[in-house]
Structure 1
Amino acid sequence: MKTLDRDRICRILNTIIEYEMAGVVRYAHSSLMVIGPYRQPIVQFLQAQATESLQHALEAGELITGLDGHPSQKIADIEESHDHSVTQILSESLAHEEHAVTLYRSLLDEVSDASVMLEEYARGKISAEEQHALEVKKMLKDYAPIS
């Protein structure tokens, strides 16, 4: 079993907090910008994603304090395309979810064989983010260009 590098793990978890907090802002903003006949279910989906991003950030913060670290108060940069079409909002959401998977995978790589609890946490978050990405991909199919 390898040694748990608490400082490195806290840095990764802080990156996750910052990214998840950016997700809160991204999803909340996007939910306000949706227009069109499918507005209600998409708004509900985006607001649920914002709530879940906050929960993920809080969970990461709890782990950091449990490891004697200090949770970040920053949020990651949010790219704004200023294109608020449903297709663009969903595409940006998909990119956000896919990047979240890479962050949780970096945590998994760091904690593998060092902490079963942190491995299970990372695996659970990877699974959740992959499920979100799959859901967004399915939503985007309705907006695919007609050939």
Structure 2
Amino acid sequence: MTKKEKATEGNEKIVALLNRIMEYELAGVVRYTHYSLMVFGYNRLPIICWLKGQAEESLAHAHKAGEMITQLGGHPSLGIGPLLETHKHDIGDILRESLDHEAAALQLYRDLFEEVEGVSIMLEEYARSMIYTEELHQGEVNKMLRKPGDVSVFSAREHK
């Protein structure tokens, strides 16, 4: 296999990963928008504001992934990642689902980093910055799932 063929094959794999990321982030837009419409109760306003912000951020992340795809000569997907409707709209359920969503997104960015490490500084830095952002999101949601005054990290296994 020639160097050019290896590079083309590598780019195809990277573009496929970026398309999965883009689809997953677009699913996040739908998910967080839906959640923001399903919150009721006294604390509704700050929670829906946070959820709308998450939807906007997911859209920005999808756009970034699309820009990387086109920079590599790829074609951005028109697909959308998996959407889960559990019909559970308690804020705790929403946050736990959000934590799962963030964990899956984080894994996609880690997969991308592994694929591009040593191949492209630009893509490495993109993946690294997105991993940082997703880890921050996970920490934020984790803190939201804790009871007031509880400094221990939330564990879904302990709360099932």
Shorter-chain TM-score tier: over 0.9
Corresponding residue number in structure 2 for 1:78: 83
Cα RMSD of the aligned pairs, angstroms, is 1.7
CA distance in 2, matches of 1:142, 1:29: 25
Corresponding residue number in structure 2 for 1:31: 36
Q: Which amino acid aligns with 1:134?
A: G
- Identical residues among aligned pairs (%): 53
Q: Which amino acid aligns with 1:115?
A: S
CA distance in 2, matches of 1:141, 1:120: 32
1:66-145 to structure 2, matched below 5 A, reads: 66-142=71-147
* Displacement after TM superposition at 1:38 (Å): 1.5
Q: TM-score, normalised by structure 1?
A: 0.93
* Displacement after TM superposition at 1:49 (Å): 0.5
CA distance in 2, matches of 1:35, 1:120: 39
* Displacement after TM superposition at 1:77 (Å): 1.5
Corresponding residue number in structure 2 for 1:13: 18
Corresponding residue number in structure 1 for 2:151: none
Give the aligned length: 144
Q: Gaps (5+ residues) in structure 2?
A: 149-153, 155-160
CA distance in 1, matches of 2:40, 2:108: 31
Q: 1:142 to 1:43 in 2, by over 3 A?
A: farther
Secondary structure of 1:82's match? Answer: coil
Higher relative contact order (CA 8 A, sep 6+): 1
- Match among 45, 48, 53 for residue 43 of structure 1: 48
Q: Name the stretch that deviates more: 79-88 or 36-45.
A: 36-45
Q: Which amino acid aligns with 2:40?
A: I
* Displacement after TM superposition at 1:111 (Å): 0.1
CA distance in 2, matches of 1:139, 1:77: 24
CA distance in 1, matches of 2:47, 2:143: 12
Listed one character per residue, the Cα deviations across residues 63-100 of structure 1 (whole Å, up to 9, x for unaligned) are 10010000001101211110100000000011100110
Q: TM-score, normalised by structure 2?
A: 0.86
